[in-house]
């Protein structure tokens, strides 16, 4: 299973829109929109989890693809860097 970073998502898009877009390339296991902690508003990026083969096909096919006038940024998600503790 691979986690895919999807950036520059239109604010009008829904998780179902993203799921439908990625489903053309393989089974989508999950879609998680990232929300701002303080305002609760969508931050314009998400993570999609797919099986490895479908994920690679989706990354190749959808990077730079236009969605509602915005070019998506699609690549393999990188592990989150540890945050310093105070």
Asked if the structure places residue 27 within a domain, the reply is yes
Residue 22 lies in a domain: yes
Please check the confidence at residue 84 and state whether its pLDDT lies above 90. Answer: no
How distant, in Å, are the alpha carbons of 12, 35, 42, 48, 62 from that of 54? 25, 26, 26, 11, 12
Per the structure, the complete domain to which residue 34 belongs is given by 2-74
Number of domains in the chain: 1
| Residue 74 to residue 35: CA distance in whole angstroms | 18
Q: Does some domain include residue 46?
A: yes
What confidence score (pLDDT) does residue 69 get? 95
Tell me, yes or no, whether 60 lies in a domain.
yes
35-83 tens-digit pLDDT: 999 999 999 999 999 999 999 999 999 999 999 999 999 999 998 888 8
Report the CATH number that the domain containing residue 18 is assigned in CATH. 3.30.70.330
pLDDT in tens, 1-16: 999 999 999 999 999 9
pTM: 0.90
- 84 in a domain, yes or no? no
């Amino acid at each position: 299973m691979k986690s895919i970073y999807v950036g520059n998502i239109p604010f009008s898009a829904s998780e179902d829109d993203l799921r439908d877009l990625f489903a053309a390339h393989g089974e989508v296991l999950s879609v998680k929109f990232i929300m701002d902690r303080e305002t609760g508003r969508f931050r314009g990026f998400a993570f999609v989890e797919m099986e490895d083969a479908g994920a690679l096909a989706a990354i190749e096919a959808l990077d730079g693809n236009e969605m509602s006038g915005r070019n998506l940024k699609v690549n393999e998600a990188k592990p989150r860097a540890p945050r310093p503790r105070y």
